[in-house]
Amino acid sequence: MASGSRCFFLLLFTRQLEKRAVCCVNNVTPLCSGFGPFGEHTVNASWVAVQELKKLGLGSEVDLHVYEVPVEYQTVQSLVPSLWKQYHPQLVVHVGVSGMATTVTLEKCGRNHGYKGLDNSSFCPDSQCCIVGGPDCIDSVIDMESVCKRVTASGPGVTVSVSKDAGRYLCDFTYYTSLYLSRGRSAFIHVPPLGKPYSGEDLGRALKAIVQEMLELLDQAEEKIHCQQHFH
């Protein structure tokens, strides 16, 4: 992994939105991250895609804020919890690049064990796991199959797929950490390298469509829960 690699966090804040349902009004706060250059990825497609998402936005109710941190296990262990504590986001979406990917890939789960690759500081956890004593695998509460189908039906111009293995490196490590802290209210999206076959603009548009569908699914689920509580 290249020295001085960076991870970029993109915070998205929305003002309170009126809901049509009389029983539910939400204040939505999603958070997104993308990784900086490492190894052969001197320009990381995930960060380019997140920048494009920032340009596109998610509507007039959304403000976007970018955070940059070193790509290191120990930094992730401290930074991700601090972001959850500070912003209490409705959803966190992490974005990473995969040299093997040819599609935009929605990761269904994060894994706790098997982290042997060294980070930018030539470090990996002695335990080779994210959370000592944590479950082996945590699934996202987001129905990735449903998101994939809905985004594909919208014709985003990219191929979207679903995976059960985020790779046992910083991507997977970050994802599991968020899933653990949020009780599953996190998502991870792998994108292919730039030009193989998609441009940064293509990936940005795909991210926008995907995040909007994820938020819509969460919103529908929460509205149903809030309405049930209201009438009981």
Catalytic residue numbers read 107, 171
Cα gap 40→50, rounded to integer Å: 19
Non-local CB neighbours of 149 within 8 Å, separated by 6+ positions: none
Strand runs labelled E in 140-225:
160-163, 186-191
Helices and strands of the chain, counted as H and E runs: 5, 9
Q: Which amino acid is at 186?
A: S
63 closest CA partner among 90, 18, 24, 31 = 31
CA-CA-CA-CA dihedral for 130, 131, 133, 134, to nearest 10: -90
Cα-flanking dihedrals φ and ψ of residue 184, to 5°? 95, 0
Chain centroid to Cα 185, Å, comes to 10
Cα gap 63→54, rounded to integer Å: 9
